[in-house]
């Protein structure tokens, strides 16, 4: 069972030495974000950590960032699984969803602020690209609901603080949060919306899953935790929010009310364009007595945003391929952590069972996901090891025979800078499938047979040469030599 609260998770992370407390007072308008940028830009993944800013100038509320997505290790700690079991944990959670449980009393409503008392500046909302973003932004779970079905959705849609009582939320066309708000505003009604800050970690990580419209991420979070997530009714809008969250912001989108949103530093590594987006009138702020403010570090990759989206959506794809599409030949999926798990590079490992099978799976992945580059390899390749994937590309991929180009793929313009045109009009994107599975019998590997390699390993140790752990790449090769 995974942690029921963000606090439990932060304690577990600290015990593992994966969380750093920073006691020096920091200015929310630039210091937490700029320090987090150094961590992602300078430190290798295995050295990164969650950042807990204990003293935020002018506030009694600490800021935490990067705890969920500093690295695969912090992410795995959030789900209480081993790093190599992350995909399996998501597959299990998706196959065993647990609906939430509605409770009357909730820690997230220990303090309730409504009416004229509401002021967004009572929260230490950071500026994430200091010197370039338009202002402070919420980067956390957004809750919306379909008016007609009553089914809720959770997604992360960055939301700009416009003034003390209004946010402008980047609910882009096609995104489920936006579709949900239209089901209200198209009928002339105000759409309810809420942000859950510092929710249970499984809720945060399920929120970035690309699920089909109508699937509520909270049921997958329940499946991951192994127990229903407690949800409580908001104080001023008709929505349920995670009861154990640190802070909840409630609001309404009124029909036709929009304003310019941005600029904001995006996950693709560039400042995004400014666009017209819905305005949210804030109706309440509720929180625990001593709340913790949690915000995701995004912007230039790698970042927390790219790490969590890649890891969550690899699990989702594996589940869809194996259990919804019946492609049980697929053994593993990995999404590179440089592009938000959205338009990035996905590597699929499989056991092809008929000619053209691997290309078919590659096309399927390209069609059912927003991913831009799909590489398919055999199951004897460690898809998390660049050198092994490169070797497969060099030794098993014949570009003129093994490439599928897919035209006219639609990506919203502000997500993929490579398709921005000089006139700022959207141009269509494209996708590529590279089939790097073996199509001919290339003979045995050019390594000595396994028994000789193992005898040599004993000799290595006897001589006292430097110790090592056998890399997965080497193991996969030696086992087949």
Ligand X SMILES: Cc1cc2nc3c(=O)[nH]c(=O)nc-3n(C[C@H](O)[C@H](O)[C@H](O)COP(=O)(O)O)c2cc1C
Chain contacts with ligand X (rule: CB under 6 A): 139, 153, 155-158, 170, 172, 175-177, 208-210, 296, 298, 305, 308-309
443 by DSSP, 3-state: which?
coil
Cβ 35 to ligand X, closest distance in Å? Answer: 17
Min separation Cβ 3 and ligand X, Å? 19
Q: By three-state DSSP, how is residue 45 classified?
A: helix
Sign of the alpha-carbon torsion through 155, 156, 157, 160:
positive
List all residues 6 or more positions away from 122 whose beta carbon is below 8 Å from its beta carbon. Answer: 113, 285
Whole-number Å distance between alpha carbons of 32 and 50 = 12
Nearer to ligand X, 66 or 366 (CB): 66
Contact present, 224 and 90 (Cβ < 8 Å): yes
Q: How far is CA 315 from CA 89, 155, 224, 375, 408, in A?
A: 8, 17, 12, 16, 27
Name which of 106 and 342 has its Cβ closer to ligand X.
342
Give 20 or 176: the residue with its C-beta nearer to ligand X.
Answer: 176
Tokens describing residue 15:
């015990």
Residue 378 C-beta: closest distance to ligand X, Å: 30
| C-beta of 120 vs 476, nearer to ligand X | 120
Q: Provide, rounded to whole angstroms, the least separation between the CB of residue 144 and ligand X.
A: 9
Q: Which of 214, 449 has the CB closer to ligand X?
A: 214
- One-character DSSP codes across 158-204: -EEEEETTEEEE---TTSHHHHHHHHHHTTT-PEEEEEEES--HHHH
* Min CB(309)–ligand X separation in Å: 6
Residue nearest to ligand X (CB): 155
Shortest distance, position 182 Cβ to ligand X, whole Å: 13
Distance in Å, CB of 237 to ligand X, minimum: 19
Q: What distances in angstroms separate CA 451 from CA 355, 369, 466, 474, 475, one per listed residue?
A: 34, 43, 21, 14, 13
Phi/psi of residue 142, nearest 5 degrees: -110, 130
User: Which letter does DSSP use for residue 56 in this model?
Assistant: B
Are the CB atoms for 120 and 165 separated by under 8 Å?
yes
Q: Which is nearer to ligand X, 195 or 397 (CB)?
A: 195
Select from 76, 69, 95, 80 the least CA-distant residue to 219. Answer: 95
Minimum distance of ligand X from residue 374's CB (angstroms)? 18
Supply the minimum distance, in Å, between the C-beta of residue 180 and ligand X. Answer: 9
Beta partners for residue 334, in sequence order? 347
Q: Which residues contact 38 (CB under 8 A, 6 or more apart)?
A: none
- The phi, psi pair for 350, rounded to 5°, reads -155, 170
State which residue, 240 or 308, has the beta carbon closest to ligand X.
308
The residue (of 120 and 156) whose beta carbon lies closer to ligand X is 156
Cβ closest to ligand X, residue 77 vs residue 358: 77
Answer yes or no: are the C-beta atoms of 85 and 92 closer than 8 Å.
no
Residue 367 beta carbon to ligand X: minimum distance, rounded to whole angstroms: 17
Residue closer to ligand X (CB basis): 2 or 210:
210
Q: Which of 310, 297, 296, 300 is nearest to 269 (CA)?
A: 300
């Amino acid at each position: 069972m995974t942690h029921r609260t963000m606090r439990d998770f932060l304690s577990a992370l600290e015990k593992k030495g994966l969380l750093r407390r920073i006691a020096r007072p920091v200015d929310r308008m630039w210091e937490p974000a700029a320090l987090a940028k150094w961590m992602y830009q300078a430190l290798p993944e295995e050295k990164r950590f969650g950042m807990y800013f204990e003293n935020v100038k002018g506030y009694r509320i600490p800021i935490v960032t990067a705890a969920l997505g500093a690295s695969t290790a912090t992410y795995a700690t959030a789900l209480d699984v081993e790093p190599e079991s992350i995909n399996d944990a998501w597959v299990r959670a998706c196959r065993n969803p647990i609906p939430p449980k509605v409770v009357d009393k909730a820690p997230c409503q220990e303090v309730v602020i409504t009416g004229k008392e509401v002021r967004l500046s009572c929260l230490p909302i950071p500026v994430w690209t200091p010197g370039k973003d338009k202002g402070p932004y919420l980067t956390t779970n957004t809750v919306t609901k379909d008016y007609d079905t009553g089914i809720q959705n959770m997604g992360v849609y960055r939301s700009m603080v416009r003034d003390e009582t209004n946010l402008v939320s980047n609910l882009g066309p096609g995104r489920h949060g936006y579709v949900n708000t239209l089901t209200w505003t198209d009928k002339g009604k105000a759409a309810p919306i809420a942000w859950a800050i510092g929710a249970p970690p499984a809720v945060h990580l399920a929120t970035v899953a690309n699920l089909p419209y109508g699937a509520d991420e909270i049921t997958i979070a329940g499946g991951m935790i192994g127990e229903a997530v407690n949800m409580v009714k908001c104080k001023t809008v008709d929505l349920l929010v995670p009861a154990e969250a640190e802070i909840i912001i409630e609001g309404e989108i009124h029909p036709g009310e929009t304003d310019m949103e941005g600029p904001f530093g995006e996950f693709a590594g560039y400042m995004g364009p400014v666009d017209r987006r819905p305005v949210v009138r804030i109706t309440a702020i509720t929180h625990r007595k001593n709340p913790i403010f949690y915000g995701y570090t995004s912007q230039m990759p790698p970042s927390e945003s790219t790490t969590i989206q890649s890891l969550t959506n690899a699990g989702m794809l594996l589940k869809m391929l194996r259990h919804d599409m019946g492609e049980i030949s697929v053994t593993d999926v990995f999404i590179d952590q440089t592009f938000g798990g959205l338009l990035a590079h996905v590597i699929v490992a499989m056991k092809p069972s008929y000619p053209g099978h691997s290309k078919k799976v590659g096309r399927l992945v390209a069609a059912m996901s927003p991913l831009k580059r799909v590489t398919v390899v055999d199951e004897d390749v460690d898809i998390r090891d660049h050198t092994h994937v490169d070797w497969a590309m060099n030794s098993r991929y014949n570009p003129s025979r093994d490439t599928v180009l897919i035209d006219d793929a639609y990506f919203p313009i502000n997500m993929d800078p490579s398709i921005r045109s000089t006139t700022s009009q959207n141009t269509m994107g494209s996708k590529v499938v590279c089939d790097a599975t073996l199509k001919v019998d290339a003979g045995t590997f050019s390594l000595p047979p396994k028994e000789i390699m193992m005898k040599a390993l004993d000799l290595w140790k006897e001589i006292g040469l430097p110790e090592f752990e056998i890399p997965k790449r080497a193991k996969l090769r030696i086992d087949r030599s």
